[in-house]
Amino acid sequence: MPVTPLEIMLSKVWSMVLIVLLASTFSLIVVAQGLLHIPLQGSIALFLLRAVLHLFATASLGIFLATVAGSMPQFGLLLILVLLPLQILSGAQTARESMPDIVQAIMFAAPNTHFVILSQAVLFRGAGLDAVWPQLLMLLLIGTALFTFSLKRFRQFLK
């Protein structure tokens, strides 16, 4: 092959990160602040850093699920079975504090949970890097673990 599995994965991850980051930036600046006049308290740059780490983790999760699935329909079903609970239990729709302790502990390993914590802290409460660095570190660790595991599975998948 003219390209390696690492190059394929990096191109998939970073192309998605770039597109979603551009759309998020446009949405925050033009739509939320410009058209809707929503007051955002925190740093948009810190929010976008968080977005890059979250997108890295979720894209790596998607590649892993694609290596597990045998076909596109199976991949679609896996997405529903994995992403829907991750989103519902992330704390975006329901407060994490109202969930059982075991669910909170399990969801601490999910990138969506840290996405919600960071987004609320930075955009609505104006938190700085000193307050949110643990969540940024967790997103980096989760993303790196998922990327490494996905790369290993992807290499096996191509053999």
Instruction: Write out pLDDT tens, residues 38-70.
Output: 888 888 888 898 899 999 999 999 888 988 888
Neighbour-count burial of 94, counting CB atoms closer than 10 A to its CB (0-12 exposed, 13-18 middle, 19+ buried): exposed
Question: What whole-number percentage of the chain has pLDDT above 70?
Answer: 99
How much is the average pLDDT of 13-22? Answer: 92
Euclidean distance between CA atoms 156 and 5, whole angstroms: 10
What is the average pLDDT value for the chain, to the nearest integer? Answer: 89
How much is the average pLDDT of 6-14? Answer: 90
> Could you tell me the pTM of the whole model?
0.85
- Expressed as residue numbers, the domain containing 117 is 5-158
Neighbour-count burial of 24, counting CB atoms closer than 10 A to its CB (0-12 exposed, 13-18 middle, 19+ buried): middle
pLDDT of residue 30: 92
How much is the average pLDDT of 4-27? Answer: 91
Confidence band for 1, pLDDT divided at 50, 70 and 90: low
Tally of domains within the chain: 1
